[in-house]
Amino acid sequence: MPDSTEQQPPRRVVTDNLVSLQSFILEEETRYPGASGDFSWIISAISLAAKIIAHKVRHVRLQNVLGEDGTINVQGEDQLHMDVIANEVIMRVLGGRGSIAVLGSEEEEQPTILRRGHEGGKYCVLFDPLDGSSNLDTAVGVGTIFTILRNDPKIHGAVETVCQAGHQQVAAGYVLYGSSTVFVITTGRGVHMFELDSSIGSFMLVQSNIQMPASKKIYSVNEANAEGFPEGFQKYLKWAHQNGYSSRYIGSMVADMHRTLMNGGVFLYPPTKKHPNGKLRLLYEANPMSFLVEQAGGASVTAAGQRTMDIVPSQMHERVPLVLGSKNEVAAVVAHL
């Protein structure tokens, strides 16, 4: 037995621990007694898919995967090679995870049922495989957006299963393939950011509990559509012009939202002549971003001023006009609507 009076070496306190996405999620799961580890398997699959897509995105020219695929998706949009590749990668990686019941993608008309009823499957995953892909030919940042929902085995249809209000999300996040590749996630306990260290193949924690500034005089909108915006949005823009606001618009939602999350401001996609319900899809674009923004202290509403995450969807690909970002900036838009 060591003598307890013996002098111990000084205890070292490490405050700048290196934490991978994998270990962060495993740690999160230990907070839920009886957790099976299924959830961390799904996040680990998404991170694997993200690494494969990040590699492809970085080499689109060398691998000759720029340009159109010659196919059209359910939204009537021309699919690019990279849309199809990113979708296939996520489908193949997530398809092997036993805890997933249903997968839904922007690129596919119907949700894919992996297992039902007695076959199990606790979760559904919905995603936009490569948001902003039309920017790839100019090497602008693009991203993958995802949301994880619970599967209710009592609901029979796959579409009905995934048509859940945003406040029911279990987790949501995005991966931005920009000048660096970052993975931003919330499980309802803050927003955390990981950066891909490709030399070791891991996403490493670089910022936890991200909080966005409550105010920042920046709006992000495709202002070329302004004539078709409802009057309230036009009034807001006029007010912003008169009040010293700056404009930033990349045209790639993940990149625009990442800047908004980190620096503050407001991102808008109002109804336009071409898209009377806005362009962005509720289930796999608006809801995940809204969950992240609310967790970071911001707000997200529709053109009618309703909380985005309270909308009960009726279709997997439905669109919603969107206003989200810093709390006070969203309030300033709403005041004009």
Determine if 25 is a binding residue for ligand AHM (CB under 6 A).
no
Residue closer to Mg ion, measured from CB, 128 or 294: 128
* Residue 324, strand partner residues: 267, 300
The sheet that has 112-113: what strands, in order across it? 112-113, 100-105, 123-131, 142-150, 171-177, 181-186, 191-197, 202-207
What is the SS3 assignment for 237?
Answer: helix
If contact means CB under 5 to 8 A according to the sort of partner, which of ligand AHM, Mg ion, none does residue 171 touch?
none
Q: Give the footprint of ligand AHM on residues 87-126 (CB under 6 A).
A: 106
Residue closer to ligand AHM, measured from CB, 117 or 251: 251
- The one-character DSSP state at 20 is B
Determine if 252 is a binding residue for ligand AHM (CB under 6 A).
yes
d(CA 277, CA 304): 11
Determine if 234 is a binding residue for ligand AHM (CB under 6 A).
no
Give how many residues touch ligand AHM by CB under 6 A.
12
Residue closer to ligand AHM, measured from CB, 12 or 273: 273
Binding residue (CB under 6 A) for ligand AHM from 99, 133, 181, 260? 133
- Up-side HSE of residue 152: CA atoms within 13 Å toward CB? 12
Task: Go through the chain and tell me how many residues it has.
Answer: 337
Binding mask 71-90 for ligand AHM (x = CB under 6 A): ------x-------------
Q: Where are the alpha helices (DSSP H) in 250-308?
A: 253-263, 287-295
Contacting residues toward Mg ion, per CB under 5 A:
128, 131
Stretch that binds ligand AHM, among 96-104, 127-135, 190-198, 205-213 (CB under 6 A): 127-135
For the bound state, the minimum distance from the C-beta of residue 324 to ligand AHM, rounded and expressed in Å, comes to 12
Determine if 264 is a binding residue for ligand AHM (CB under 6 A).
no
d(CA 327, CA 304): 16
What is the SS3 assignment for 184?
Answer: strand
For the bound state, the minimum distance from the C-beta of residue 131 to Mg ion, rounded and expressed in Å, comes to 4
Residue closer to Mg ion, measured from CB, 28 or 131: 131
Contacting residues for 105 by C-beta, under 8 A, at least 6 apart: 87, 90, 91, 112, 126, 127, 128, 129, 284
Q: Which spans of this chain sit near ligand AHM (rule: CB under 6 A)?
A: 77, 106, 128, 131-133, 222, 251-253, 256, 279
